[in-house]
Structure 1
C-alpha cells in the first residue's frame, strides 16, 4: 500500500525529560522505581498530549490505568499530527473524531498500540505480536542493531525511547501512529475533490472538463475549497444551448475556448470551505479573479445566482473531501464572459 506518512522525529530533550520524570532512583542508587501508571505518564509529558486526548476521547482511561501489565507503543504529538495531515482538513485535532463511528475507529487504533503483557526492550524479538485489538497483530522487525514496528501499512515506526516503566507496565515511544487494516480502509475512503468527482459517474463530464482545463493539480491541492459541482446533465444542457458547433468538450479545441472552459470551472470554486450551514444571502468571491456568485434565499433554502438570468438549485450539499467540500448544483454557473460567449453562439 502506498506510504501515507511523513517521517517524524522525537526531540532528544523531550524523551530525556520523559524518562527522567517516569522513573526515580532509590535513595541508595538502586534501580528506578515507577510511581505513575501508563495514563499518568502520558498526562505528565508535554510530548504526548495528543495521545492523552485520544485515550480520553476513546474512553480508555480506566482500561490503561488498570492492573495490566501492558506494553504501550506511544506515538508522539508529531506522529499524531502526521496522521491528521493525511486525513485532511476535516481532521485538525482529536476533537474532530466526533461521530460514534470515528470514536470507535480511534479506540481501535489505540488498542492496536497495546500489548496485553509487559515486553521490555531486551524481550523484543522479530515476529508478530498480538495486540489488545482483537485479531490484529503488529510486527517486530529487526533493523540493524535495533527494531522497528510494522503495522498494516508499508511504513514502519521507529522506536525513539524504550523501557519507560510504569506501575502497570512499560511504554516505548514511537515516531508514527500504528494503523490496523480498518484504519487504512477508512483512510482509503477519504478523497480529495477530484477523487470524489472521479468516483461518481454523474460527474464524468466535470472530470473531463477539469482535465481539459488543466485544473487537476489545483483541485487536488491543500485548499480548502468549496466546489459547486454540476452533474453531467447540466453540462449537456449547456452544450445544447451553445448549438451544433458544441456537441462535447472535444469541441473546446482552440486556446481561447479552453481558457474559457477553465474560467467557467474556476467560477464554481470558492477558495474557502463553506458548508451548507454557513451559507448566507450575499455575494461570494470565486477563484475566478474579480468574479462572484450570489447566494440567494429561496423558499427556506438557497439558490446560486451567476451572470445569467437562471439560478442554480442545490441538488446535494456537504459532500466532504479531504481538501474541502462539494455541493451539487443543477446547472453550469456562467461568469459574464461565458454569457457573452454564449450570446455570440445564438444562445
Structure 2
C-alpha cells in the first residue's frame, strides 16, 4: 500500500492537532526537511501519528530538544511495506517508534566490541515483554550489512539516517531460532525436552513447563548463551550421560542463562554474573573476541545480540558443561534483578557504553557465527564514509515481524 499525502497539507494539520504537546515549529521543520529530501511517504505517516496517544508521545519525544536518531525508510521502502502494516494505524505507529532512538551517540561509539545498542521508543506490550514491564525494545549497530543507509541529514538535535528497508520487530524464540544461520536446532530440541518451574504472578502459583515455552513466552527478561549444533555434537556423550539425572541436566542448561535481566553484549564486558543455576558466569573481552566461562569451560560468543521480545540470545561455540548449582544464590540474584527492573531509567547514551568506553581497538576481529541475523541489518554505505565509519550497521528485530 503506497502512502501519499501532500507534505504541505501535513504542515497545516500538525499545529492544530499537536498544540498541547510536541514542539510545533520543530515538527514543521522536520516535515519540510523530509519533503525536501524526497521522503514524502514517511512524512505522510505523521498523519496517522496525530490520531493516537502513542503517536502524540512519539512526536513530543522527538521534538523535545534532546538528541535523537531517526531512521527514515525511503519512499520505495515504505511502498513495499506489507499492507497489514500500512493499513493498521496502531501497528504503523509502533513501527515508527522502533525507528526512533533517543540519546546522544556522538563520540560514544566504542571501537570494541563491534556493536552499539540504542533503546528505541517501541514499548507496545504486544511486541515488548522485557523485565519490569517498563523498558522499550532496542536496536543494535554492528558490522552486518543487509539494509543500507543511503544518506543522512540533521534537523536540530535529530540525526536522520535514510534507509532502504523498514526495520522489523524482534520475533519470539520459536520464530527466531529457525532463521539463524548459526543453527540452534539441537539446542531448541533439548529445550523442548526439559521441564522447568515457572512462577505465575497473576495466580501466585508455580507450575512446570518446558524450557522452550519459558523462553518463548513465560520469562520476561533473560540473557541466554545458546550453543551451536556443532558445540552440542562435541559433547553428545556427556549430555547423554545426564539424561537420567534431571537435576544435573537442568543445572547445565541454567548455567547458560541469566534470569531476570537482559544483558546486551556491550554490558558483558569483563564482569561476573550469576547464572540461573546460581553459579558464576565470567565474561571477558580481549583482542580475539568475547568469551564466557562457567566452571571449567570457556566459550566464545560467535554471534551476539539476537533480539527477542522478552530477552536476548548470544550464540556460543561450546557447551558450558557445568553441573554445579547453588539454588540460594540463584534465588537471591533473581530477587535482586526483579527489584532492579522496577527502576525506570532514561537512556541518554548507548546501552553499556560505560562498560565498554575504556576498551581499546581489537587486534583481531570477532568471528561471527553466520551472516543472517535476527532481523534487519544496516550498512552505512556512502554515509558511513562521510561519518568516518563511526556507525557501521544496525540489527533490527525478527525477520517475519512485519510479514
Of Structure 1 and Structure 2, which has the larger fraction of its residues in helix? 1
Q: What is the TM-score of this pair, normalised by structure 2?
A: 0.42
Please tell me whether Structure 1 or Structure 2 has the larger radius of gyration of its CA atoms. 1
Q: What is the TM-score of this pair, normalised by structure 1?
A: 0.48
Higher relative contact order (CA 8 A, sep 6+): 2
